[in-house]
Amino acid sequence: MPRFAANLTMLFQEVPFLDRFARAAQAGFEAVEFLFPYPYSAIDIRSRLDEHRLQLVLHNLPAGDWDAGERGIACHPGRVDEFRAGVTQGIAYATTLGVGQLNCLAGKLPEGVSREEAHATFVANLRYAAAEFAKARLRLLIEPINTFDIPGFFLNRTDQAVAILDEVGLANVYVQYDLYHAQRTEGELAGTLSRHLARIGHVQLADNPGRHEPGTGEMNYAFLFRHLDSIGYNGWVGCEYKPAGLTEDGLGWRERLAA
């Protein structure tokens, strides 16, 4: 059975962020992930992880002004210095929090910038980040995101992500494969997982439509969980979904679909 990590950005939203660690542990999770630690002290987060014996398996690099609708700046030619400062900040947090991999959001294609220029910027930024990450023994992830949820997002297909990994050419860069985003953009989930398993560093889930718990939509998660086991995926699966109700009330999918 896959190992599941609670995404604290999405789950337990009825309580303040630092209180979600306790709720995750009480719900039977042994690991957590979240989008951004930066509004909080790394020491405070580490204290909650240690108190509740939780492993942190993922967080993101800084991604611009999230509240204003930005979804990453890694493909923005005019913001390379800001991106590099974010790499330094991300490594500092990762070192304190004991996490081994961080996700880099490409961002939306900036207005007035060609795809060619955005691509070149993204690749150059990834090379810089990966080299810095290697010094800290960290893995760098990139995540294709569907353009229904985030119109204009630069990186949206698995084959595009793998080609970028090849172009970057460094061994510590992987794909973060979100089953929900992949379902909306391209389908062919089992085949893609099998074909690119060696390039996939992390998997996330949510059902479609609605981005709710597994079992609430069209995706065959019982099959997908068996498939992940059969192909030898041994990483964590991040539960990055919007609970249809109270998080704890919907967690029966873990036993029902992943047994």
Q: What is the pLDDT of residues 53-104, one digit of tens each?
A: 999 999 999 999 999 999 999 999 999 999 999 999 999 999 999 999 999 9
Catalytic entry in 51, 143, 218, 248: 143
- Side-chain-side CA neighbours of 3 within 13 Å: the count stands at 14
Domain chopping of the chain, boundaries: 3-246
Residues 6+ away with beta carbon under 8 Å from 40: 17, 18
Look at the pTM and tell me if it is higher than 0.85. yes
Q: Report the pLDDT value the prediction gives residue 259, as an integer from 0 to 100.
A: 75
Q: Which CATH architecture has domain 3-246?
A: Alpha-Beta Barrel (3.20)
Burial of 220: CB neighbours in 10 Å, binned 0-12, 13-18, 19+: middle
70: annotated active-site residue: no
Q: What is the pLDDT of residues 95-150, one digit of tens each?
A: 999 999 999 999 999 999 999 999 999 999 999 999 999 999 999 999 999 999 99
Catalytic entry in 51, 116, 132, 240: 240
Indicate the average pLDDT of the chain. Answer: 98
Q: Report the pLDDT value the prediction gives residue 1, as an integer from 0 to 100.
A: 81
- Beta strand pairing status for 200-205 and 3-7? unpaired
- Quickly tell me which residue has 């002004």 as its tokens: 65
Residue 187 has pLDDT above 90, yes or no: yes
Q: How far is CA 257 from CA 123, 129, 216, in A?
A: 38, 37, 11
Neighbours of 142 (CB within 10 A): 25
Q: Report the pLDDT value the prediction gives residue 135, as an integer from 0 to 100.
A: 98
143: annotated active-site residue: yes
